[in-house]
Amino acid sequence: MENKFFVDSEYLSPQALAKKHLLENDPSSRLDHMKYMKGMEEINSDVCSKVIAAMDLYDYSKYTAKDVKAALDHEKCSVDDLKALLSPAAMPFLEEMAQKARLITSRHFGNTVYLFTPLYISNYCENYCVYCGFNCYNHINRMKLSQEQIESEMKVIADSGMEEILILTGESRSKSDIEYIGNACKLARKYFRMIGLEIYPVNTDEYRYLHECGADYVTVFQETYDRDKYETLHLLGHKRIWPYRFDAQERALMGGMRGVVFSALLGLSDFRKDALATALHLYYLQRKYPHAEMSLSCPRLRPIINNDKINSLDVHEKQLCQIICAYRIFLPFAGITVSSRESAEFRNGIVKIAATKISAGVSTGIGDHESKYKGKNSDKNQGDEQFEIDDSRSLDKMYVDISGEGLQPVLNDYIYL
């Protein structure tokens, strides 16, 4: 696939080009990424300090095969066991980890695999994140769906049989305000039994409003828990503020959301430390909000422009499998999602071990479901994708493939009374 996400001075004003250059080369020109901006709610949670303290002290080189064997022998996985299972010393024990993860998954989830699809309703963004296709300096086709277009897209998706949808936007309050997203949730309630949101972080009262509009859960990618690395990757916009993003899941729960999803984008920084922090973020919030449904997503960095500015750490499939198995052993009740960033072969295998949820019929573009689902050529304006996907199977194909693996595809198990 041709990479459409590029920056070219031809498309930037001299002022914009100068600002971009300054942000990239002069750290003093950037906002303090640890200081809240005006209007951002501070909840003063104790969860952040616990997670960061554990991550900062994590020296995975000290763990040995003996530590990994002990972790696998324990009936209950401790935080220190998790650290051993995420360490390089655990790689030779991947088969044993997979076997244990498979037993735990079967015990708590049976043989079910949940299916959902994402719907991007806008790709306008006000952030400069150097690794993202939507970032404000990338010359892409920008689009915001009208309410009529959103409903049309939802009808196409619902007609395919899908019952759970994840609504996504670029991070732009001016183009995708809370009322706009809330109206999309109200439309979605007409067609779907489960509604998730992956939008810019908001305050507690705004999460409460979106929940009242029909949203069930919220997904937030912390991207990386490494605060220093985060600062070099997020150069402009509200997303630059690390602690406000960290507390997003807790604000969502305070606002009444039924569930929250956590994730780091593996490869942006030290993936072992990011995996530990992600698991602990969920772990400490689960203890604080035991009624909530909590899940993990496990994306790897996809091919993008500006890799030279990221110095990404490659995460191989075996390492991703190790992380997912460690998550399952440490967090038996947590849902684990593996997205279409991964290959069909990998996803077919990991759902038999530890993953409980996968996407199907995926498009990361804007307004193109009719052409992709029904094979119709469209002359309508369409917005560009955020990243390239690897597994493009339809819902029908995914359903058949999962069933062929001896698993039970589930479209929804929640009933509103």
Six token digits for residue 304: 């993008």
Residue 73's pLDDT band (cuts 50, 70, 90): very high
CA distance 212 to 215: 7
* pLDDT higher than threshold 70 for residue 309: no
- Residue 303 confidence (pLDDT): 59
Question: Within a domain: residue 1?
Answer: no
Q: What is the CATH number of the domain that holds 21?
A: 3.20.20.70
Scanning the structure block, which residue is given the tokens 């763990």?
Answer: 63
CA nearest neighbour of 280 among 49, 47, 51, 83? 51
Alpha carbon distance 384, 193 (integer Å): 28
Give the angle 280-357-185 at the CA atoms, nearest 5°. Answer: 90
Domain extent, residue 184, equals 9-410
Determine whether 166 is exposed, middle or buried from the number of CB atoms within 10 Å of its CB (0-12, 13-18, 19+). Answer: buried
* Per-residue confidence band for 114, with pLDDT thresholds at 50, 70 and 90: very high
Q: What percent of the chain has pLDDT over 70?
A: 88
Residue 400 resides in a domain: yes
Position 224 in a domain: yes
Torsion from C-alpha of 26, 29, 34, 35, nearest 10 degrees: 170
Domain assignment of residue 237, yes or no:
yes
Most confident of 239-253, 360-374, 375-389: 239-253
**pTM as predicted:** 0.92
Place of tokens 């996809």: 302
Judge whether 106 lies within some domain: yes
**Residue 303: C-alpha distances to residues 3, 122, 138, 298, 387 (Å):** 9, 21, 15, 16, 8
What average pLDDT does the chain have?
Answer: 90
- State the residue for tokens 């009719």: 370
Number of domains in the chain: 1
274 occurs within a structural domain: yes
- Within-domain flag for 2: no
More confident residue, 144 or 307: 144
Residue 391: band (very low, low, confident or very high) from pLDDT cuts 50, 70, 90: confident
Q: Rounded CA gap, 128 and 31, in Å?
A: 12
Query: Is there a domain that residue 79 lies in?
Result: yes
- Residues with Cβ within 8 Å of residue 344, at least 6 apart in sequence: 390, 391, 393, 401
For strand 335-338 and strand 357-359, is the pairing parallel, antiparallel, or unpaired?
parallel
Split at pLDDT 50, 70, 90, the class of 2 is very low
Region 304-327 average pLDDT? 78
